[in-house]
Structure 1
C-alpha cells in the first residue's frame, strides 16, 4: 500500500491510543491549563453535548477550523472528514455530490432524494441543486456519519451535514473580510451584531463576489467556470420572558456560474486538448442557483429540567442550467433543466431529564411538505429532441423519541425509534420531437434485457406506480460505558432509510420506473477520550452495514441515463485525533479505512461494476495550526495540511476512464494578526501543488466522447479581515 499505510499499522496505532487513554495521567506541568484543548459542544442528538461524550461518529469543525483550513463552501470539506467524498455535481457549481461511507447520490433531479441529509440551522434542505452553500458567519459544521434515522429521519441513511450559523448576542460586534485570489476571484464578507433593546438582539451578514474561472475554452477564446455569488442572513433573538425565547431567521443565496465545463478525454471525435482545464466547445453554458428561507424557533424552558421547542420553516430552491456534455466545437448533446421547489416543515421537540437526572430524553413530531416542478430538455445536434415536465408532491409525517438511561454511574442504555409515513405522487409528460411520447399511469410495462450477464429492467410485468407510500419504523439501541473520566466506549445498532422515487431522467418508456426505499442496518462500536491531561482528544469508530436497495445512477450504452439498485455489505474503521502540542501550536491527524461489496442486483438499466463508486479504501489527513508572537502587538499565524485519498471509481459502472487517484492534496496558509485578533492578513493556497484528479465523469464512449470534470485546480488567496 502506498505511503506505508496498512490496516495492521492503523489497528496498532488505535490500540496504542486506547492503552494510553486508559493509563494514569502524567503529572501536570505548571502551564498545563493553557494546553488543555477546548471542549467542543455539538447538537448531534438534538441537545447540547460535549463532542467527546456523544455516542455518534461525528466531525465538528469550528469557525476557527473552517478559517484555518480555508473551507469557504461546503464542497471544500473534501480534505477534512474521514470516509467523506464530496464534489460538485456534473456541470453544477451550486450543487454537491456527497458520499459518506460509500453511500450517496449523483443526480439532483426532483424525483430522487439524496441519502446525505443537509441541514441549515436545524432546517432540512429537501433539494440538493443549491446545497453547496457558502460558509459565512458560520459557527460550526457538524458531519454525522452513519444512518441518523431516529432523530433526523428519512434521507439520512448515509449521514447528515449540519451547518450552524452564529446566533445574535447581546453586544455590539462586527467583522469585515476581503479576499482576492488566482483566476481573479474576489469575495467580500461582512457581519454586524447589535441590540435593539434589552430583550432583542439582531445579527446580519452578507457575502458578494465573482471570478474563479479555472478553465479556458479555446473554441471561443474565453475563460469559463467563473462564479458570481450574493448572499445575506438576518436573524433576531428575543427574550419574550424569563423562560421563552424567539429566534427569527432568514437567508438568501444566489450564484451564477458559466460552467462547470467538462473535458472530452476520449480522442474519438477529435484530438484531446491535452489539459483537464482546456475545453473546446462553442456552447455557452450557465448554472444559476437561488435559495432562500425563513424560520421561527420558539424555545420554552418549561422547568429546570424540561425544554420544549418549535421549529417552523419555509424554503424555496430554484435552479436553472444548461450543460454541454460532449465538449465538441459543435455541440452533440446539451441538457437543459429548470427546477423549482417549495418546502414547509414543522417540528416540535421536547428534551429533558428525569429520575434524579439518570434519564435524559428527546422526543418530537415532524411534518414535511414539498412541491417541486422541473422541465428537462435534451438537445441533440442542437435540436430539442426529448423534453419532459415533472411535478412531484411529498408529504412526510414522523414521531420520534430517544431515551438515555443510566443503569449505573458508568453504564448508560440508549433506546430510541422513529416512525415515518412518506407519501409521494408524480405527474410526468415525456415528449419526443415535441409530441407526447408517454404519460405513465399504469400502462408502461417493462421489457427484460440482459447486458454482460446482468438482467436489466428486472420487473417485466410491473406497471409504474405514480403514487408511492412508505411506512417505516427505525429503531436504535445501544450501550455507552464510561471507563474513566478520560475514556468512553459505545456500541449501537441503528436502522435508516432513504425514500423511494422514480427514474425520470430517461428517454424511453421502458426505462421509466419507480423504486423502493433504501434500507440499512448499521452496527457501530466506538471509543472517545482525552489524552495527556486533556492535551489530546481522539475518536475511534468501527462500523458494519447491511444495505438493501442501494441506489445508483449512471449512463447507458445508447446515450441515455439509467439506474440500478443492489444489496451491499460495507464495513470500515475511522480515527480522528486533535492535539495541543505546545502553547500556540496544535495539530490534527485522521485516518479511515472502508471496504464493501455488492451482494445482488435487484433492478437495473445500467450494468454495475464490482466496486462501489466514490469509495476510496484509505483516506488520511494531517495538519498543523500555529500562532507565534512576533512582538507585543503582532503574531505570526500559519497552518498546513496534507490529505491522502486512495484510488477509486467515480461512476457505478467502473469504466477504466472513471478510475482516479491516489489523490494527494496540500493546503497551506501564513499571515500576520494583531495580538488581540482584531486584524488579520493571510496568504494561502489550496491544492498547492496542482494535483490532478477527477470529480465526475460521463462515459459515452460508444457515442464518441468521454467527458470528465476535474477537481479543484491549484489556487492562492490573499485575505484581510477586521473584527470589532
Structure 2
C-alpha cells in the first residue's frame, strides 16, 4: 500500500515536504532504487488545482496522513518545519495565537487589532488571534503561504496565510476509531464516520476528538481554585454534508466547533536583580493566586456553492458565520498576593461572503472575486491593582469589502506571466468605557466614548516564472501587502483610544528556484526575499495597559532553503533552513504622558523573528512480517529571539535558542488487519525553553523583570487505531 506522509512539528516526520515548503519525499512503489521518485503534489493555494513545484509562491503543505500521525490539532504544531514561520501561544493563555511569518507579527491578540497572517478554514477567514489556537477535527490538508497575500485570499494580509482544508465526505460507508494514552494522564479519543451515498447525491461525515490531560506543573497557592497549571480538556467536532445536485452544481456545508476548558500556563518570575536570569531553567511549581481559568469556544458554519457555468468558468460562493467565546485570567505580578491581576472575557461574531470566478480563456487562467466581511467584538477586561478593581469595557465593529483579480498567461512554452490586483475598503467603529469613580496610574473614569474611521487601499503583484530545464523552474515576484489601521481598545485614556493608528504596508521582492534532480529523487527549493515595510504597527505592553504606534519604516530580508531526498526505497530525508535579517530604518515612539518623541531605531527588537531556524529529519519505511513499519525522527533548532520590540521588556522576556527532538514508531496494517499501533515522543530530550512572557513592574511602574512562560516538557504516548 502506497502512502505519502508530510512532515510536521511535534511528532514524527512522515512523508513529503514540497515546494517552498518542507514536504517529505516518499518514494513510489517500484522494485529498484533506480525507479525512485518524489510524488507530485497538487494544491489549491491559488484557488485552483496546480502542481506545487510550478507555483511562483513559497508555500508549505501538510497532508492528512502527517496530521493524523503526529496528532496535530492546531496551527502551533506546524511551526518548526516551515522556514521563517514562528507560531506560539500568546502570553498567559494557551488558545491565543501569535503567528509571525517573515518578521511580520501581531503580538497582542486584542480584539481591536488586526492579525498579520490570515487563517482560513475551508476558505473562510478567521479574523481574530484571540482563541486562534482552536482544534480542528478531520483536517485534510494545511497550506502555509509565506509573503503578502492580497490578490487571491479574502482578506489582505502582510505576512502570509494559513489555509486549513477539512476532509470532504468520502461518499461510501467507512470511518476510523482511535484511542490514545500518554504521560501526565493524557487520554485521546477520536472517531470519524462517513455515510454511504444517500439518494445517489448526498454524503455525510461526522468527526469528533476528545482530549484530556493533567497539568504539567503544581500551583502552591491556597488562594487559587486551581492546583495544576496547563490542564487540558478539549472537545472538537465537525459535521460535513456534500449534496451533488447535478454534474455542474453542488452544495457543501460544514459545521465545526472547538471547546477548550484549560487551566492557565505557569508564569515564572525572573527578576535579574534578585535572582539569576537563567532563561533555560524551568520551574516545576509556583504559587499564583490570580489564575482561575483559560477557556475558549469557537464555532463555525460555512456553505460553499460551486457551479460549473460552462465555457471554462466556475463560480463559487462561500457564506460563513463564525463566533468565539473566550475568557482567561492573568496573574501579572507573578506572586501569591493581590497585586496586578486581569480578567479578559471576549465575545466575537463575524459574517463573511466571498464570490469567486475561476476560469480560463485561451492562454489565460484567471481568478476574480468579491469579498465582504462584517464583525462585532466585545471585551470585558477588568484590572485589579491591589486596592481596587477597574472595570474596563471596549469593542469594535468592522465592515470590510474588497474586489480582487489574479491571472497568469503563458508567453511561450517556458515563460509564464502572473499578475494580480486588489481593492479594499475597511471601516471600523470603536467604543471604550470605564465607569469607575476612582483612578490609578494613567486610568481615569471614562464615559462611553466612540470613534470611527475608514481605510482604503489598492495592492498589486506581478511575477515571471521561467522553466530553465525539465523539473527546474525559477521565478521573480514583486507584491504588495496591506493591513488596515485601527484603534487601541487597551489605551489608558480616551484621547489615545480615539486616535487611530495608520495602516501598515509592505512592498515585497522575491526570487525563487524550484528544482528536482537525479530522476526526481532529490528536490532542492530556494527562496530569497526582501520586504520594505512602512508604518509597521508595533504593540507595546506598558503594565496596566498597552500602546500601539507605527514604526517609521523597516526592511526585512531572508533566505529559505528546503531539500528533500529519496535516499533509497525505504529511507527518505529532509532539511530546511531559514535565515532572517531585520532592521528598522526609522522608529520613533511618543511617550503617552509627555508626548515627547523617543528615538529607538537602534535599540528596538523585532518580535518573534529568530535569525536562524532549521530542522532535519529521517523517515524509514519497510514491510515486515507483521505489517508495515514506519520509523521517523526530527531535530529542530530555533535561534534567540524576543517577544517584544521595546526595552527593557525585550531583554526581560528574551527567548534563548532551543532545540526539539521528536520521534515516532508506527506498525500499520498489523497482521493484514485494519489496526495500526504507534508510540510517540515529543520534546524527548526535555528541552527547557521559553515561548513568551510579560514584563513585571515594581510599585513605581518601572519594569524590573519578566513573567515568562515555557514550552511543554517531554511527553510520550501510545495510539491504537482501527479503520472500517
The answer, yes or no, to whether TM exceeds 0.5 is yes
Report deviation, 1:471: 0.9
Q: What is the 5 A alignment of 1:207-356?
A: 207-220=209-222, 222-266=227-271, 275-303=282-310, 305-355=312-362
Q: What is the 5 A alignment of 1:62-461?
A: 62-195=63-196, 196-220=198-222, 222-266=227-271, 275-303=282-310, 305-355=312-362, 358-381=363-386, 383-384=388-389, 386-433=390-437, 437-439=445-447
2:636 aligned with 1:643: yes
1:165 and 1:434 map into 2 onto residues whose CA distance is 51
1:677 and 1:494 map into 2 onto residues whose CA distance is 51
Secondary structure of the corresponding residue to residue 96 of structure 2? strand
1:604 and 1:136 map into 2 onto residues whose CA distance is 45
Secondary structure of the corresponding residue to residue 382 of structure 2? strand
Structure 1 length-normalised TM = 0.88
Report deviation, 1:559: 4.8
1:49 matched to which residue of 2?
A: 50
1:696 matched to which residue of 2?
A: 692
The CA deviation string for residues 155-184 of structure 1, in whole angstroms up to 9 with x for no partner, is 511101111111112212211111212211
Given that residues 154 and 497 in structure 1 are in contact (C-alpha distance below 8 angstroms), is that contact kept between their aligned partners in structure 2?
A: no
Report deviation, 1:136: 3.0
2:622 and 2:214 map into 1 onto residues whose CA distance is 32
Q: Structure 1 residues 502 and 488, CA, compared in 2 at 3 Å: closer, same or farther?
A: same
Report deviation, 1:223: 2.0
2:348 and 2:652 map into 1 onto residues whose CA distance is 35
1:389 and 1:611 map into 2 onto residues whose CA distance is 31
Q: Structure 1 residues 71 and 231, CA, compared in 2 at 3 Å: closer, same or farther?
A: closer
Report deviation, 1:401: 0.5
Given that residues 395 and 489 in structure 2 are in contact (C-alpha distance below 8 angstroms), is that contact kept between their aligned partners in structure 1?
A: no
Secondary structure of the corresponding residue to residue 581 of structure 2? strand
Counterpart of 1:684 (choices 672, 680, 686) is 680
Q: Structure 1 residues 589 and 375, CA, compared in 2 at 3 Å: closer, same or farther?
A: same
Q: Structure 1 residues 408 and 509, CA, compared in 2 at 3 Å: closer, same or farther?
A: same
Given that residues 112 and 488 in structure 2 are in contact (C-alpha distance below 8 angstroms), is that contact kept between their aligned partners in structure 1?
A: yes
1:268 and 1:378 map into 2 onto residues whose CA distance is 27
Structure 2 length-normalised TM = 0.88
Report deviation, 1:359: 0.9
Given that residues 169 and 201 in structure 1 are in contact (C-alpha distance below 8 angstroms), is that contact kept between their aligned partners in structure 2?
A: yes
Query: Structure 1: which 4+ aligned runs deviate by more than 4 Å?
Result: 267-274, 432-436, 602-608
1:710 matched to which residue of 2?
A: 710
1:272 and 1:353 map into 2 onto residues whose CA distance is 60
2:470 aligned with 1:496: no
Report deviation, 1:189: 1.2
Q: Structure 1 residues 493 and 165, CA, compared in 2 at 3 Å: closer, same or farther?
A: same
The CA deviation string for residues 369-411 of structure 1, in whole angstroms up to 9 with x for no partner, is 1111111111112731x33222311111111101101111111
Secondary structure of the corresponding residue to residue 64 of structure 1? helix
Q: Structure 1 residues 92 and 605, CA, compared in 2 at 3 Å: closer, same or farther?
A: farther
Report deviation, 1:680: 1.6
Counterpart of 2:612 (choices 606, 611, 618) is 618
Secondary structure of the corresponding residue to residue 627 of structure 1? strand
1:667 and 1:66 map into 2 onto residues whose CA distance is 14
- Please list every run of 5 or more consecutive structure 2 residues that lacks an aligned counterpart in the other structure: 1-18, 21-28, 593-597
Report deviation, 1:721: 1.3
2:179 and 2:49 map into 1 onto residues whose CA distance is 33
* Bigger shift: residues 74-83 or 51-60: 74-83
Report deviation, 1:271: 10
2:272 and 2:580 map into 1 onto residues whose CA distance is 35
The CA deviation string for residues 15-43 of structure 1, in whole angstroms up to 9 with x for no partner, is xx99xxxxxxxxx9963686222221211
1:135 and 1:584 map into 2 onto residues whose CA distance is 32
2:117 and 2:495 map into 1 onto residues whose CA distance is 29
Report deviation, 1:304: 5.6
1:657 and 1:418 map into 2 onto residues whose CA distance is 41
1:137 and 1:688 map into 2 onto residues whose CA distance is 27
Secondary structure of the corresponding residue to residue 514 of structure 1? coil
Secondary structure of the corresponding residue to residue 66 of structure 1? helix
2:474 aligned with 1:480: no
Given that residues 559 and 700 in structure 1 are in contact (C-alpha distance below 8 angstroms), is that contact kept between their aligned partners in structure 2?
A: no
2:451 aligned with 1:466: yes
Secondary structure of the corresponding residue to residue 709 of structure 1? strand
Secondary structure of the corresponding residue to residue 103 of structure 1? coil
2:635 aligned with 1:628: no
The CA deviation string for residues 110-131 of structure 1, in whole angstroms up to 9 with x for no partner, is 1101111100111000112222
- Please list every run of 5 or more consecutive structure 1 residues that lacks an aligned counterpart in the other structure: 1-16, 19-27, 442-464
1:456 matched to which residue of 2?
A: none
* Bigger shift: residues 614-623 or 304-313: 304-313
Secondary structure of the corresponding residue to residue 501 of structure 1? coil
1:30 and 1:207 map into 2 onto residues whose CA distance is 39
1:583 and 1:677 map into 2 onto residues whose CA distance is 24
Secondary structure of the corresponding residue to residue 104 of structure 1? coil
Q: Structure 1 residues 34 and 232, CA, compared in 2 at 3 Å: closer, same or farther?
A: farther
1:571 matched to which residue of 2?
A: 557
2:387 and 2:684 map into 1 onto residues whose CA distance is 39
1:581 and 1:509 map into 2 onto residues whose CA distance is 63
2:11 matched to which residue of 1?
A: none
1:545 matched to which residue of 2?
A: 531
* Bigger shift: residues 575-584 or 489-498: 575-584
1:523 and 1:276 map into 2 onto residues whose CA distance is 44
* Bigger shift: residues 528-537 or 569-578: 528-537
Q: Structure 1 residues 718 and 486, CA, compared in 2 at 3 Å: closer, same or farther?
A: same
After superposition, the CA RMSD in angstroms is 2.4
Given that residues 33 and 569 in structure 2 are in contact (C-alpha distance below 8 angstroms), is that contact kept between their aligned partners in structure 1?
A: no
Q: Structure 1 residues 545 and 277, CA, compared in 2 at 3 Å: closer, same or farther?
A: farther
Secondary structure of the corresponding residue to residue 640 of structure 1? strand
2:653 aligned with 1:658: yes
1:626 and 1:677 map into 2 onto residues whose CA distance is 21
Secondary structure of the corresponding residue to residue 302 of structure 1? strand
2:574 aligned with 1:588: yes
Secondary structure of the corresponding residue to residue 78 of structure 1? helix
Report deviation, 1:300: 0.9
2:163 and 2:288 map into 1 onto residues whose CA distance is 38
Report deviation, 1:269: 8.0
Secondary structure of the corresponding residue to residue 73 of structure 2? coil
1:308 and 1:174 map into 2 onto residues whose CA distance is 32
The CA deviation string for residues 25-79 of structure 1, in whole angstroms up to 9 with x for no partner, is xxx9963686222221211111111111111100001122234445332211222
